[in-house]
């Protein structure tokens, strides 16, 4: 089933606009689009259009009709921008809405018009009531799921049959219900970086019941990885990290669908392979990969949880133990807003090894950082709980956590998004989908 994704901010505006009035009101949503590897589509709401009073031919408590001139104007805009349109209207009452015969008749006329004006585009209809939502392709009986994304990721309309949790998850079902467990089992989760934190994320997600994974990491297991690589053994030295992670998942979930790429996510073609996941985990240690993944998160409305740990040592003594788990999602400040990305480091990560050696402004090589599995486990567990809060409603509202290991302190912080941020705002990449090129390196080579 295809998906219609909308930010919570836009959904709130839609609800306030069409509900509670004395007459029915229409809205039009401008949307981008992307296709999943399995052929299903995602439609991404990027703009809400409010018709003026004179854009209607008639309005009443039970119906509203837009003028042909208004429809024709937006058909031209849709064709020029390659946008899908979603026609939104309200139904009265507190029951979950269903499309009426009046809706069917009106949509058939619209669908016929758009088949001639924009034959390469598909448009949608969304009906909203105080009791819920219904969504379908215009003039058809093909429904779409409606998903809202922001601090949380919530499925608001899903006419498909949900997964039936097995008794294996009885203790989890007692915590967040059968519906929550079904959501976990329906998610496609991307994990980038299968080292200290990424391997632990794989371990916990597999046990939680996630059944679809996309794994990305360019590296092989080295002897120095074994102290913190969950699921690994000495015999795995020289094996791809993605292969070790996939083996662990299949040991826990024999029927899991696992897609692995031994590639670097800073390459555009690799990053594109993550466009169809539902949630991302950034478990890398480079600024370049974080820059790519945060763009992916906001451009495709995919919540991404970024995980990082630092152990600082000076004179043979530990001076700092810090960790961070931060969700990157519409309405939440991105790494650029928080000044957490170093432009020079991003530039370094986008270069090949030969290019780095030739650049006079890049001096020296990166030294391996200290890493301890207990610190990685602490921060990864916080990130997984954040994920559970966002997707199944576990009551843990923090979306940006900072850990101070020396003082045994954990605190929640809330950064404010920068207006017109080049990443997370509507003036940036928000909900642009395939309409905007991803940033990154353009060609793979031997220098991963």
* 3-157: CATH topology: Cytidine Deaminase; domain 2 (3.40.140)
Angle at 217 between CA 6 and CA 410, to 5 degrees: 65
Spatial CB neighbours of 294, under 8 Å, sequence gap ≥ 6: 282, 304, 306, 328, 334, 335, 336, 423, 424
CA distance 229 to 296: 26
Report which of residues 178 and 361 the model is more confident about: 178
Mean pLDDT over 97-102 rounds to 92
**Does 117 have pLDDT greater than 50?**
yes
Quote the CA–CA distance of 15 and 48 in Å, as a whole number. Answer: 12
**Pick from 330, 309, 325, 323: nearest CA to 429:** 330
Q: Which residue would you say has higher pLDDT here, 388 or 106?
A: 388
- From the list 190, 269, 260, the residue with the least C-alpha distance to 219 is 260
Whole-number Å distance between alpha carbons of 222 and 233: 11
pLDDT, position 60: 80
- The arrangement of secondary structure in 167-435, i.e. its CATH architecture, is 3-Layer(aba) Sandwich (3.40)
Domain regions of the chain by residue span: 3-157, 167-435
pLDDT digits 0-9 by tens, 244-265 = 999 999 999 999 999 999 999 9
What's the full length of the chain, in residues? 448
Q: How far is Cα 123 from Cα 359, in angstroms, rounded to an integer?
A: 49
Q: Give the pLDDT confidence of 367-411 residue by residue, as tens digits.
A: 678 899 999 999 999 999 999 999 999 999 999 999 999 999 999
């Amino acid at each position: 089933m295809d998906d219609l994704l909308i930010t919570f901010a836009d959904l709130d505006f839609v609800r306030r606009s069409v509900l509670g009035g004395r007459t029915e009101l229409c809205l039009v949503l401008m949307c981008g689009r992307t296709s999943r590897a399995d052929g299903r589509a995602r439609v991404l709401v990027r703009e809400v259009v409010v018709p003026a009073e004179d854009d209607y031919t008639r309005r009443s408590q039970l119906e509203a009709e837009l003028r042909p001139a208004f429809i024709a104007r937006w058909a031209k805009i849709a064709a020029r921008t390659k946008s899908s349109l979603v026609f939104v209207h309200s139904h009265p009452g507190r029951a979950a809405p269903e499309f009426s015969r009046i809706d069917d008749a009106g949509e058939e006329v619209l669908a016929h018009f758009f088949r001639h004006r924009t034959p390469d585009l598909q448009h949608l209809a969304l009906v909203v009531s105080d009791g819920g939502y219904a969504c379908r392709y215009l003039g058809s009986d093909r429904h779409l799921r409606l998903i809202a994304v922001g601090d949380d990721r919530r499925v608001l309309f899903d006419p498909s049959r949900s997964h039936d949790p097995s008794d294996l998850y009885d203790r989890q079902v007692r915590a967040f219900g059968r519906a929550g467990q079904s959501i976990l089992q329906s998610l496609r989760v991307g994990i980038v970086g299968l080292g200290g934190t990424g391997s632990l994320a794989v371990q916990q997600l597999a046990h939680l019941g996630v059944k679809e994974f996309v794994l990305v990491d360019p590296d092989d297991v080295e002897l120095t990885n074994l102290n913190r690589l969950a699921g690994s053994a000495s015999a795995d030295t020289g094996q791809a990290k993605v292969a070790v992670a996939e083996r662990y998942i299949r040991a826990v979930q024999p029927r899991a669908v696992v897609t692995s790429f031994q590639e670097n996510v800073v390459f555009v073609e690799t990053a594109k392979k993550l466009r169809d996941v539902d949630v991302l985990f950034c478990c890398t240690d480079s600024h370049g990969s974080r820059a790519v993944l945060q763009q992916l998160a906001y451009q495709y409305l995919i919540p991404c949880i970024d995980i990082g740990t630092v152990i600082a040592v000076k004179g043979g003594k530990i001076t700092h133990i810090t960790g961070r788990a931060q969700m990157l999602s519409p309405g939440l400040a991105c790494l650029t807003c928080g000044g957490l990305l170093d432009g020079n480091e991003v530039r370094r990560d986008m270069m090949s090894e030969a290019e780095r050696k030739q650049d006079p402004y890049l001096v020296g090589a990166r030294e391996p950082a200290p890493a301890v599995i207990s610190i990685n486990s602490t921060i990864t567990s916080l990130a997984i709980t954040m994920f559970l809060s966002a997707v199944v409603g576990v009551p843990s509202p923090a979306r940006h956590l900072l850990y101070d290991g020396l003082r045994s302190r954990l605190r929640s912080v809330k950064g404010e998004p920068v207006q017109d941020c080049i990443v997370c705002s509507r003036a940036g990449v928000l909900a642009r989908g395939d309409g905007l090129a991803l940033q990154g390196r353009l060609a793979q080579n031997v220098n991963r």
